[in-house]
């Protein structure tokens, strides 16, 4: 995104999360920001940095597993991020 595109960016039902096998060896991005306390998931925009932030409310039952978070956008594009919730994962 090159700037503010509104808050109606995502396809209905997006983003989505699903189990992803940790054994495939794929590494996720190392540019993940520190965790925040989240009571729910939300999408925000910061005008000063021209960046969207998605705060993701995860589930404690995912401990020890890997997940794929997928964003489907109204323009037809998709982005995904892989997360490793195993102890000691980086």
Instruction: Write the pLDDT tens digit of every residue in 39-84.
Output: 678 888 888 888 888 888 888 888 999 998 888 888 899 999 888 9
Please report whether residue 30 resides in a domain. Answer: yes
CA–CA distance, 8 with 45 (Å, rounded to integer): 12
Please report whether residue 28 resides in a domain. Answer: yes
pLDDT band at 34 (very low <50, low <70, confident <90, very high): very low
The pTM of the full predicted model, rounded to 2 decimals, is 0.70
Task: Find, among 43, 87, 90, 48, the residue nearest to 65 by Cα.
Answer: 87
Task: Find, among 88, 81, 89, 87, the residue nearest to 18 by Cα.
Answer: 81
Please report whether residue 52 resides in a domain. Answer: yes
Please report whether residue 7 resides in a domain. Answer: no
Please report whether residue 64 resides in a domain. Answer: yes
Please report whether residue 1 resides in a domain. Answer: no
Would you state the pLDDT for residue 48? Answer: 87
Could you tell me the residue range of the domain that residue 75 belongs to? Answer: 16-84
pLDDT at 31 over 60: no
Residues with Cβ within 8 Å of residue 71, at least 6 apart in sequence: 10, 14, 15, 54, 78, 79, 80
Contact 7, 45 (CB under 8 A): yes
Please report whether residue 49 resides in a domain. Answer: yes
Please report whether residue 90 resides in a domain. Answer: no
Total of domains in the chain: 1
């Amino acid at each position: 995104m090159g700037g503010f595109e509104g808050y109606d960016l995502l396809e209905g039902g997006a983003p989505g999360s699903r189990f992803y096998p940790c054994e495939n060896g794929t590494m996720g991005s190392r540019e993940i920001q520190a965790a925040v306390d989240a009571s729910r998931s939300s999408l925000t925009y910061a005008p000063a940095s021209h960046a969207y932030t998605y705060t993701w409310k995860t589930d404690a039952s995912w401990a020890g597993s890997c997940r794929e978070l997928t964003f489907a956008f109204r323009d037809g594009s998709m982005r995904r991020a892989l997360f490793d919730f195993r102890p000691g994962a980086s």
